[in-house]
Amino acid sequence: MPDSTAPSFFVSYSHHDADWRAALFDRCIATTSGDCLVWSDAQLRAGDAWCPQIEAQLAACSVAVLLVSPNFLASSFIRERELPLILARAAAGTLRIVWIPIALDRDTLPGSPLFRRNLLFYRDTALVTMPVAIATQSAIASFFPPSVVRRIGVEGPAVSGHFGYVESPTNAPVRNVVAVLPGSDPKLRGQYVAIGAHADHVGIIGDPVDHDSIRAFNAVARPRGADDPPPRQVTDSQWILIRALIDSLHRAHGGPRLDSIANGADDDGSGTVLALEIAEAFAKGKRRPARSLLFVWHAAEEQGLYGAQYFSDHPTVSRDSIVAQINMDQMGRGGAEDAPPDGLNSMVVLGARRLSSELGRIADSVNGQPRYQFHMDRSFDQPGDPSHGWCRSDHYMYARYGIPVLFFVSAVWYIDYHMVSDEPQYINYPRLAKVGNYIHDVTAQVANLPHRPVVDGARPDPRGACIQ
Protein backbone atom coordinates (compact mmCIF):
# COMPACT_ATOMS: atom_id res chain seq x y z
CA MET A 1 0.00 0.00 0.00
CA PRO A 2 1.15 3.59 -0.54
CA ASP A 3 2.86 5.41 2.29
CA SER A 4 0.23 7.79 3.64
CA THR A 5 2.91 10.11 5.03
CA ALA A 6 4.51 10.74 1.62
CA PRO A 7 3.72 14.07 -0.03
CA SER A 8 0.66 14.55 -2.19
CA PHE A 9 1.25 15.51 -5.78
CA PHE A 10 -1.09 17.94 -7.45
CA VAL A 11 -0.89 18.29 -11.22
CA SER A 12 -2.71 20.81 -13.38
CA TYR A 13 -2.59 20.40 -17.13
CA SER A 14 -3.14 23.67 -18.92
CA HIS A 15 -4.95 23.87 -22.24
CA HIS A 16 -4.78 25.97 -25.37
CA ASP A 17 -8.26 27.35 -24.67
CA ALA A 18 -7.88 30.92 -23.40
CA ASP A 19 -10.56 30.55 -20.73
CA TRP A 20 -8.87 27.42 -19.44
CA ARG A 21 -5.54 29.22 -19.18
CA ALA A 22 -7.15 32.07 -17.33
CA ALA A 23 -8.66 29.63 -14.85
CA LEU A 24 -5.69 27.39 -14.07
CA PHE A 25 -2.57 28.38 -15.99
CA ASP A 26 0.51 28.82 -13.80
CA ARG A 27 -1.26 27.87 -10.59
CA CYS A 28 0.63 25.71 -8.18
CA ILE A 29 -1.30 24.20 -5.31
CA ALA A 30 0.89 23.26 -2.36
CA THR A 31 0.03 21.21 0.72
CA THR A 32 1.59 21.17 4.15
CA SER A 33 3.03 17.74 3.37
CA GLY A 34 4.60 18.21 -0.02
CA ASP A 35 5.10 19.95 -3.29
CA CYS A 36 3.15 20.30 -6.46
CA LEU A 37 3.94 20.73 -10.11
CA VAL A 38 2.09 22.62 -12.82
CA TRP A 39 2.72 21.73 -16.46
CA SER A 40 2.03 24.50 -18.90
CA ASP A 41 1.56 24.06 -22.63
CA ALA A 42 5.11 25.21 -23.31
CA GLN A 43 6.50 22.71 -20.85
CA LEU A 44 4.43 19.91 -22.33
CA ARG A 45 5.73 20.75 -25.78
CA ALA A 46 9.25 20.51 -24.39
CA GLY A 47 8.44 16.84 -23.83
CA ASP A 48 11.42 14.74 -22.85
CA ALA A 49 13.20 17.61 -21.11
CA TRP A 50 10.55 17.48 -18.39
CA CYS A 51 10.42 13.70 -17.98
CA PRO A 52 13.15 13.40 -15.31
CA GLN A 53 11.52 16.06 -13.12
CA ILE A 54 8.07 14.55 -13.57
CA GLU A 55 9.28 11.05 -12.78
CA ALA A 56 11.20 12.26 -9.73
CA GLN A 57 8.11 14.03 -8.40
CA LEU A 58 5.94 10.96 -8.98
CA ALA A 59 8.46 8.66 -7.28
CA ALA A 60 8.32 10.76 -4.11
CA CYS A 61 4.57 10.86 -3.57
CA SER A 62 1.80 8.46 -2.67
CA VAL A 63 -1.32 10.41 -3.61
CA ALA A 64 -1.96 12.28 -6.85
CA VAL A 65 -4.88 14.67 -7.31
CA LEU A 66 -4.89 15.41 -11.01
CA LEU A 67 -6.70 18.49 -12.25
CA VAL A 68 -7.05 17.91 -15.99
CA SER A 69 -8.41 20.06 -18.76
CA PRO A 70 -11.30 18.82 -20.90
CA ASN A 71 -8.94 17.97 -23.72
CA PHE A 72 -5.94 16.66 -21.80
CA LEU A 73 -5.73 13.53 -23.94
CA ALA A 74 -4.86 15.68 -26.96
CA SER A 75 -1.26 15.83 -25.76
CA SER A 76 0.74 12.90 -27.12
CA PHE A 77 3.25 13.47 -24.31
CA ILE A 78 0.51 12.86 -21.72
CA ARG A 79 -0.91 9.81 -23.52
CA GLU A 80 2.34 8.12 -24.45
CA ARG A 81 4.81 8.99 -21.69
CA GLU A 82 3.28 10.42 -18.54
CA LEU A 83 -0.09 8.61 -18.37
CA PRO A 84 1.32 5.06 -18.70
CA LEU A 85 3.79 5.93 -15.93
CA ILE A 86 1.00 6.98 -13.58
CA LEU A 87 -1.18 3.98 -14.49
CA ALA A 88 1.70 1.57 -13.89
CA ARG A 89 2.22 2.92 -10.40
CA ALA A 90 -1.50 2.84 -9.69
CA ALA A 91 -1.73 -0.77 -10.87
CA ALA A 92 1.19 -1.69 -8.63
CA GLY A 93 -0.62 -0.18 -5.65
CA THR A 94 2.05 2.45 -4.90
CA LEU A 95 0.03 5.50 -5.94
CA ARG A 96 -3.48 6.61 -5.16
CA ILE A 97 -5.09 8.81 -7.78
CA VAL A 98 -8.13 11.08 -7.91
CA TRP A 99 -8.92 12.47 -11.36
CA ILE A 100 -10.74 15.80 -11.51
CA PRO A 101 -11.62 16.79 -15.09
CA ILE A 102 -12.54 20.46 -15.03
CA ALA A 103 -15.25 21.92 -17.25
CA LEU A 104 -15.27 25.49 -18.40
CA ASP A 105 -18.28 27.15 -16.85
CA ARG A 106 -19.84 27.75 -20.27
CA ASP A 107 -19.98 23.99 -20.85
CA THR A 108 -22.86 21.83 -19.71
CA LEU A 109 -21.27 18.76 -18.22
CA PRO A 110 -23.54 16.09 -19.74
CA GLY A 111 -23.43 17.73 -23.17
CA SER A 112 -19.74 18.34 -23.65
CA PRO A 113 -18.26 16.17 -26.44
CA LEU A 114 -14.83 16.52 -24.85
CA PHE A 115 -16.07 15.05 -21.60
CA ARG A 116 -17.92 12.25 -23.31
CA ARG A 117 -14.74 11.26 -25.11
CA ASN A 118 -12.59 11.49 -21.98
CA LEU A 119 -15.10 9.69 -19.80
CA LEU A 120 -15.20 6.88 -22.36
CA PHE A 121 -11.45 6.76 -21.95
CA TYR A 122 -11.82 6.51 -18.15
CA ARG A 123 -14.32 3.69 -18.55
CA ASP A 124 -12.31 1.82 -21.16
CA THR A 125 -8.98 1.70 -19.32
CA ALA A 126 -7.57 0.96 -15.90
CA LEU A 127 -8.85 4.37 -14.84
CA VAL A 128 -12.24 2.73 -14.32
CA THR A 129 -11.02 1.65 -10.88
CA MET A 130 -10.01 5.18 -9.87
CA PRO A 131 -12.18 7.95 -8.40
CA VAL A 132 -13.30 10.58 -10.90
CA ALA A 133 -15.04 13.79 -9.88
CA ILE A 134 -15.99 16.29 -12.58
CA ALA A 135 -15.91 19.93 -11.48
CA THR A 136 -16.42 23.33 -13.08
CA GLN A 137 -13.60 25.85 -13.10
CA SER A 138 -15.48 28.12 -10.66
CA ALA A 139 -15.87 25.22 -8.22
CA ILE A 140 -12.15 24.52 -8.38
CA ALA A 141 -11.36 28.22 -7.94
CA SER A 142 -13.52 28.17 -4.80
CA PHE A 143 -11.96 24.96 -3.49
CA PHE A 144 -8.41 26.13 -4.24
CA PRO A 145 -8.58 29.92 -3.79
CA PRO A 146 -5.59 32.17 -4.58
CA SER A 147 -4.66 32.23 -0.88
CA VAL A 148 -3.49 28.61 -1.10
CA VAL A 149 -1.68 28.99 -4.41
CA ARG A 150 2.08 28.82 -3.92
CA ARG A 151 5.11 28.23 -6.04
CA ILE A 152 6.98 24.96 -5.87
CA GLY A 153 8.91 24.61 -2.63
CA VAL A 154 6.85 27.18 -0.71
CA GLU A 155 4.74 25.61 2.01
CA GLY A 156 1.07 26.50 1.89
CA PRO A 157 -1.78 26.24 4.38
CA ALA A 158 -3.70 23.01 4.85
CA VAL A 159 -6.48 22.40 2.36
CA SER A 160 -9.57 20.39 3.25
CA GLY A 161 -12.93 19.73 1.75
CA HIS A 162 -15.40 17.03 0.87
CA PHE A 163 -17.32 15.72 -2.12
CA GLY A 164 -21.00 14.95 -2.06
CA TYR A 165 -23.68 14.23 -4.60
CA VAL A 166 -27.42 14.39 -5.03
CA GLU A 167 -29.04 11.55 -6.94
CA SER A 168 -32.09 12.58 -8.92
CA PRO A 169 -33.96 11.29 -11.98
CA THR A 170 -33.00 12.72 -15.33
CA ASN A 171 -35.07 15.51 -16.81
CA ALA A 172 -35.27 13.64 -20.13
CA PRO A 173 -35.91 9.92 -19.52
CA VAL A 174 -35.50 7.64 -22.54
CA ARG A 175 -36.23 4.02 -23.31
CA ASN A 176 -34.76 1.31 -25.45
CA VAL A 177 -37.09 0.16 -28.25
CA VAL A 178 -37.28 -3.62 -28.55
CA ALA A 179 -39.01 -5.82 -31.13
CA VAL A 180 -39.02 -9.56 -31.80
CA LEU A 181 -39.60 -11.36 -35.09
CA PRO A 182 -40.39 -15.00 -34.15
CA GLY A 183 -38.37 -17.70 -35.89
CA SER A 184 -39.83 -20.42 -38.08
CA ASP A 185 -38.20 -23.48 -36.50
CA PRO A 186 -40.06 -24.72 -33.40
CA LYS A 187 -36.79 -26.07 -31.98
CA LEU A 188 -34.75 -22.92 -32.57
CA ARG A 189 -37.23 -20.07 -32.25
CA GLY A 190 -36.41 -19.85 -28.53
CA GLN A 191 -32.94 -18.62 -29.51
CA TYR A 192 -32.26 -15.10 -30.77
CA VAL A 193 -29.92 -13.22 -33.04
CA ALA A 194 -29.86 -9.64 -31.77
CA ILE A 195 -29.57 -6.74 -34.24
CA GLY A 196 -28.83 -3.34 -32.77
CA ALA A 197 -28.17 0.34 -33.41
CA HIS A 198 -28.36 3.41 -31.20
CA ALA A 199 -31.17 5.91 -31.62
CA ASP A 200 -29.57 8.85 -29.82
CA HIS A 201 -26.98 11.48 -30.72
CA VAL A 202 -25.19 14.34 -28.98
CA GLY A 203 -28.13 16.77 -28.97
CA ILE A 204 -27.88 20.55 -28.78
CA ILE A 205 -24.29 21.75 -28.94
CA GLY A 206 -24.78 25.26 -27.50
CA ASP A 207 -24.76 28.53 -29.41
CA PRO A 208 -25.73 28.27 -33.09
CA VAL A 209 -22.88 27.88 -35.56
CA ASP A 210 -22.72 28.15 -39.33
CA HIS A 211 -23.16 24.76 -40.97
CA ASP A 212 -20.96 25.60 -43.96
CA SER A 213 -18.21 27.22 -41.90
CA ILE A 214 -17.95 24.06 -39.81
CA ARG A 215 -17.61 21.89 -42.92
CA ALA A 216 -15.08 24.19 -44.55
CA PHE A 217 -12.92 24.44 -41.44
CA ASN A 218 -13.01 20.71 -40.78
CA ALA A 219 -12.26 19.82 -44.39
CA VAL A 220 -8.99 21.71 -44.09
CA ALA A 221 -7.96 21.55 -40.43
CA ARG A 222 -10.07 18.94 -38.61
CA PRO A 223 -10.75 16.04 -41.01
CA ARG A 224 -11.99 13.61 -38.35
CA GLY A 225 -14.55 16.01 -36.92
CA ALA A 226 -14.91 15.91 -33.14
CA ASP A 227 -12.54 12.96 -32.91
CA ASP A 228 -9.76 15.43 -33.76
CA PRO A 229 -8.97 17.93 -31.01
CA PRO A 230 -9.32 21.56 -32.09
CA PRO A 231 -6.04 22.39 -33.85
CA ARG A 232 -3.58 24.41 -31.79
CA GLN A 233 -2.59 26.43 -34.84
CA VAL A 234 -4.04 26.99 -38.30
CA THR A 235 -1.56 28.21 -40.86
CA ASP A 236 -2.10 31.27 -43.04
CA SER A 237 -2.36 29.09 -46.14
CA GLN A 238 -5.01 26.94 -44.43
CA TRP A 239 -7.01 30.04 -43.48
CA ILE A 240 -6.92 31.23 -47.09
CA LEU A 241 -8.35 27.91 -48.23
CA ILE A 242 -10.94 27.81 -45.43
CA ARG A 243 -12.21 31.31 -46.21
CA ALA A 244 -12.38 30.52 -49.92
CA LEU A 245 -14.47 27.42 -49.18
CA ILE A 246 -16.77 29.35 -46.85
CA ASP A 247 -17.31 32.11 -49.42
CA SER A 248 -18.12 29.54 -52.10
CA LEU A 249 -20.58 27.69 -49.87
CA HIS A 250 -22.26 30.90 -48.71
CA ARG A 251 -22.75 31.99 -52.32
CA ALA A 252 -24.25 28.60 -53.16
CA HIS A 253 -26.61 28.58 -50.17
CA GLY A 254 -27.57 32.25 -49.96
CA GLY A 255 -25.50 33.06 -46.86
CA PRO A 256 -24.76 31.42 -43.51
CA ARG A 257 -26.97 28.60 -42.25
CA LEU A 258 -27.02 28.71 -38.46
CA ASP A 259 -27.76 25.55 -36.51
CA SER A 260 -27.28 24.29 -32.95
CA ILE A 261 -28.73 20.77 -33.25
CA ALA A 262 -26.52 17.82 -34.04
CA ASN A 263 -28.99 15.57 -35.87
CA GLY A 264 -26.76 12.52 -36.24
CA ALA A 265 -27.98 11.40 -39.66
CA ASP A 266 -25.06 9.01 -39.93
CA ASP A 267 -24.32 8.59 -36.21
CA ASP A 268 -26.52 6.70 -35.80
CA GLY A 269 -29.58 7.52 -37.86
CA SER A 270 -28.07 5.31 -40.56
CA GLY A 271 -27.83 2.25 -38.31
CA THR A 272 -31.28 2.94 -36.90
CA VAL A 273 -32.98 2.95 -40.31
CA LEU A 274 -30.98 -0.07 -41.50
CA ALA A 275 -32.30 -2.04 -38.52
CA LEU A 276 -35.84 -1.05 -39.55
CA GLU A 277 -35.19 -2.03 -43.19
CA ILE A 278 -33.69 -5.37 -42.19
CA ALA A 279 -36.65 -6.08 -39.90
CA GLU A 280 -39.08 -5.26 -42.72
CA ALA A 281 -37.21 -7.42 -45.22
CA PHE A 282 -37.31 -10.45 -42.91
CA ALA A 283 -40.96 -9.84 -41.96
CA LYS A 284 -42.02 -9.70 -45.64
CA GLY A 285 -39.74 -12.52 -46.80
CA LYS A 286 -41.08 -15.80 -48.13
CA ARG A 287 -39.71 -17.71 -45.16
CA ARG A 288 -38.60 -16.39 -41.83
CA PRO A 289 -35.24 -17.51 -40.42
CA ALA A 290 -35.12 -20.49 -38.09
CA ARG A 291 -34.14 -18.48 -35.03
CA SER A 292 -36.01 -15.47 -33.76
CA LEU A 293 -34.61 -12.00 -34.38
CA LEU A 294 -34.30 -9.54 -31.51
CA PHE A 295 -34.15 -5.92 -32.66
CA VAL A 296 -32.97 -3.38 -30.09
CA TRP A 297 -32.68 0.34 -30.73
CA HIS A 298 -30.50 1.39 -27.82
CA ALA A 299 -30.79 4.68 -25.98
CA ALA A 300 -27.97 6.79 -24.52
CA GLU A 301 -25.06 5.23 -26.40
CA GLU A 302 -23.37 8.61 -26.69
CA GLN A 303 -23.65 9.18 -22.96
CA GLY A 304 -21.79 5.95 -22.14
CA LEU A 305 -23.58 2.90 -23.63
CA TYR A 306 -26.21 3.16 -20.92
CA GLY A 307 -29.10 1.75 -22.96
CA ALA A 308 -27.15 -1.32 -24.05
CA GLN A 309 -25.77 -1.77 -20.57
CA TYR A 310 -29.26 -1.72 -19.08
CA PHE A 311 -30.70 -4.06 -21.69
CA SER A 312 -27.90 -6.60 -21.39
CA ASP A 313 -28.20 -6.46 -17.59
CA HIS A 314 -32.02 -6.76 -17.77
CA PRO A 315 -32.82 -8.43 -21.12
CA THR A 316 -36.41 -9.01 -22.17
CA VAL A 317 -35.48 -12.58 -23.16
CA SER A 318 -33.18 -15.01 -21.45
CA ARG A 319 -29.62 -13.75 -21.89
CA ASP A 320 -28.42 -17.27 -22.57
CA SER A 321 -30.85 -17.51 -25.49
CA ILE A 322 -29.06 -14.69 -27.39
CA VAL A 323 -26.62 -16.55 -29.66
CA ALA A 324 -25.06 -13.47 -31.31
CA GLN A 325 -25.39 -9.69 -31.53
CA ILE A 326 -24.82 -7.59 -34.66
CA ASN A 327 -24.23 -3.89 -34.06
CA MET A 328 -24.43 -1.11 -36.66
CA ASP A 329 -23.06 2.39 -36.12
CA GLN A 330 -22.25 5.09 -38.71
CA MET A 331 -23.32 3.06 -41.72
CA GLY A 332 -24.03 5.79 -44.28
CA ARG A 333 -20.64 7.33 -45.08
CA GLY A 334 -17.39 6.11 -46.60
CA GLY A 335 -17.39 7.87 -49.97
CA ALA A 336 -14.52 9.77 -51.57
CA GLU A 337 -15.13 12.90 -49.47
CA ASP A 338 -14.65 10.89 -46.28
CA ALA A 339 -11.30 9.41 -47.40
CA PRO A 340 -11.70 6.13 -45.46
CA PRO A 341 -8.27 4.97 -44.32
CA ASP A 342 -8.60 1.55 -45.98
CA GLY A 343 -10.11 2.67 -49.29
CA LEU A 344 -13.51 3.44 -50.81
CA ASN A 345 -14.84 -0.13 -50.68
CA SER A 346 -13.73 -0.74 -47.12
CA MET A 347 -15.87 -1.43 -44.08
CA VAL A 348 -14.63 -1.52 -40.52
CA VAL A 349 -15.44 -4.68 -38.59
CA LEU A 350 -14.71 -5.32 -34.92
CA GLY A 351 -15.21 -8.38 -32.77
CA ALA A 352 -15.49 -10.81 -35.70
CA ARG A 353 -13.20 -13.37 -34.09
CA ARG A 354 -12.85 -12.15 -30.53
CA LEU A 355 -15.36 -14.53 -28.98
CA SER A 356 -16.32 -16.75 -31.92
CA SER A 357 -14.05 -17.49 -34.87
CA GLU A 358 -17.03 -19.22 -36.49
CA LEU A 359 -18.99 -15.96 -36.47
CA GLY A 360 -16.07 -14.25 -38.19
CA ARG A 361 -15.95 -16.96 -40.85
CA ILE A 362 -19.66 -16.50 -41.56
CA ALA A 363 -19.15 -12.75 -42.06
CA ASP A 364 -16.24 -13.42 -44.43
CA SER A 365 -18.16 -16.10 -46.33
CA VAL A 366 -21.08 -13.76 -47.04
CA ASN A 367 -18.65 -11.00 -48.02
CA GLY A 368 -17.12 -13.38 -50.57
CA GLN A 369 -20.29 -13.18 -52.68
CA PRO A 370 -19.66 -11.18 -55.90
CA ARG A 371 -22.15 -8.43 -55.05
CA TYR A 372 -20.36 -7.50 -51.82
CA GLN A 373 -16.58 -7.95 -51.78
CA PHE A 374 -15.97 -5.28 -49.12
CA HIS A 375 -12.40 -4.82 -47.99
CA MET A 376 -12.77 -5.54 -44.27
CA ASP A 377 -10.70 -3.12 -42.20
CA ARG A 378 -9.76 -4.86 -38.95
CA SER A 379 -7.15 -2.35 -37.82
CA PHE A 380 -9.45 -0.80 -35.21
CA ASP A 381 -9.98 -4.21 -33.62
CA GLN A 382 -6.32 -4.72 -32.75
CA PRO A 383 -5.40 -5.04 -29.05
CA GLY A 384 -4.29 -1.70 -27.68
CA ASP A 385 -5.58 0.34 -30.63
CA PRO A 386 -5.66 3.95 -29.39
CA SER A 387 -9.14 4.61 -30.81
CA HIS A 388 -10.63 2.13 -28.27
CA GLY A 389 -13.19 1.14 -30.91
CA TRP A 390 -13.90 -2.23 -29.29
CA CYS A 391 -15.09 -0.44 -26.18
CA ARG A 392 -16.98 2.49 -27.72
CA SER A 393 -20.30 1.09 -28.92
CA ASP A 394 -23.22 -1.01 -27.77
CA HIS A 395 -21.93 -4.42 -28.89
CA TYR A 396 -19.47 -4.53 -25.99
CA MET A 397 -22.28 -4.66 -23.45
CA TYR A 398 -23.30 -7.99 -24.99
CA ALA A 399 -19.75 -9.26 -25.49
CA ARG A 400 -18.94 -8.79 -21.80
CA TYR A 401 -21.50 -11.55 -21.11
CA GLY A 402 -19.84 -13.92 -23.56
CA ILE A 403 -22.28 -13.27 -26.43
CA PRO A 404 -20.42 -13.33 -29.79
CA VAL A 405 -20.69 -10.00 -31.61
CA LEU A 406 -20.08 -8.39 -34.99
CA PHE A 407 -19.69 -4.61 -35.03
CA PHE A 408 -19.83 -2.89 -38.42
CA VAL A 409 -18.89 0.73 -39.20
CA SER A 410 -19.06 2.10 -42.72
CA ALA A 411 -16.81 5.10 -42.00
CA VAL A 412 -15.09 5.71 -38.68
CA TRP A 413 -14.15 9.36 -39.23
CA TYR A 414 -15.31 12.20 -41.43
CA ILE A 415 -15.58 15.99 -41.21
CA ASP A 416 -19.17 15.92 -39.90
CA TYR A 417 -18.53 13.50 -37.00
CA HIS A 418 -20.45 14.83 -33.96
CA MET A 419 -21.08 18.12 -35.73
CA VAL A 420 -24.27 20.01 -36.65
CA SER A 421 -23.43 19.11 -40.25
CA ASP A 422 -24.06 15.36 -39.84
CA GLU A 423 -27.18 15.56 -42.01
CA PRO A 424 -29.00 13.31 -44.51
CA GLN A 425 -27.75 15.06 -47.68
CA TYR A 426 -24.25 13.68 -47.04
CA ILE A 427 -25.32 10.04 -46.71
CA ASN A 428 -24.10 7.75 -49.50
CA TYR A 429 -27.42 5.98 -50.11
CA PRO A 430 -26.29 3.38 -52.70
CA ARG A 431 -23.51 2.32 -50.35
CA LEU A 432 -25.94 2.29 -47.41
CA ALA A 433 -28.24 -0.07 -49.33
CA LYS A 434 -25.33 -2.38 -50.20
CA VAL A 435 -24.20 -2.46 -46.58
CA GLY A 436 -27.75 -3.15 -45.40
CA ASN A 437 -28.16 -6.08 -47.78
CA TYR A 438 -24.86 -7.51 -46.60
CA ILE A 439 -25.82 -7.34 -42.92
CA HIS A 440 -29.24 -8.84 -43.74
CA ASP A 441 -27.52 -11.80 -45.37
CA VAL A 442 -25.06 -12.24 -42.49
CA THR A 443 -27.98 -12.19 -40.06
CA ALA A 444 -29.81 -14.84 -42.11
CA GLN A 445 -26.76 -17.11 -42.12
CA VAL A 446 -26.38 -16.88 -38.34
CA ALA A 447 -30.11 -17.27 -37.70
CA ASN A 448 -30.28 -20.42 -39.85
CA LEU A 449 -27.14 -22.05 -38.48
CA PRO A 450 -28.04 -25.53 -37.17
CA HIS A 451 -26.07 -24.90 -33.99
CA ARG A 452 -25.16 -21.88 -31.90
CA PRO A 453 -22.00 -20.06 -33.05
CA VAL A 454 -19.18 -21.73 -31.19
CA VAL A 455 -17.61 -19.52 -28.53
CA ASP A 456 -13.89 -20.23 -28.60
CA GLY A 457 -12.47 -16.89 -27.51
CA ALA A 458 -11.77 -15.40 -24.09
CA ARG A 459 -14.85 -14.12 -22.30
CA PRO A 460 -14.51 -10.66 -20.73
CA ASP A 461 -15.33 -9.99 -17.09
CA PRO A 462 -18.88 -8.55 -17.28
CA ARG A 463 -18.15 -6.27 -14.30
CA GLY A 464 -14.58 -5.40 -15.21
CA ALA A 465 -13.07 -2.71 -17.39
CA CYS A 466 -13.25 -3.10 -21.15
CA ILE A 467 -9.83 -3.94 -22.57
CA GLN A 468 -9.15 -2.92 -26.14
Architecture of domain 177-201+264-447: 3-Layer(aba) Sandwich (3.40)
**C-alpha R_g of the chain:** 24
CB neighbours (10 Å) of residue 328?
A: 28
Q: In terms of DSSP bridges, do strands 8-13 and 36-39 run parallel, antiparallel, or are they unpaired?
A: parallel
Domain ranges of the chain: 8-148, 177-201+264-447, 207-261
pTM value is 0.74
CATH of domain 8-148: 3.40.50
The span from the CA of 376 to the CA of 348, in Å, is 6
Q: In what order do the strands lie in the sheet with 135-136?
A: 36-39, 8-13, 63-68, 96-103, 135-136
Per-residue pLDDT of the chain (468 residues; tens, 9 = 90+): 333 444 455 454 444 444 434 443 333 333 333 334 444 434 444 444 445 655 666 666 666 666 665 555 555 555 566 666 667 777 777 777 666 666 655 444 444 555 555 555 554 454 445 566 666 666 666 665 555 554 444 555 666 666 676 777 777 788 999 999 999 999 999 999 999 999 999 888 878 999 999 999 999 999 999 888 788 789 999 999 999 999 999 999 999 999 999 999 999 999 999 999 999 999 999 999 999 999 999 999 988 898 999 999 999 999 999 999 999 999 999 988 888 877 888 999 999 999 999 999 999 999 999 999 999 999 999 988 878 889 889 999 999 999 999 999 999 889 999 999 999 999 999 999 999 999 999 999 999 999 999 999 989 988 887 888
Burial letters for 397-413: b for 16+ Cβ neighbours within 10 Å, e otherwise?
bbbbbbbbbbbbbbbbb
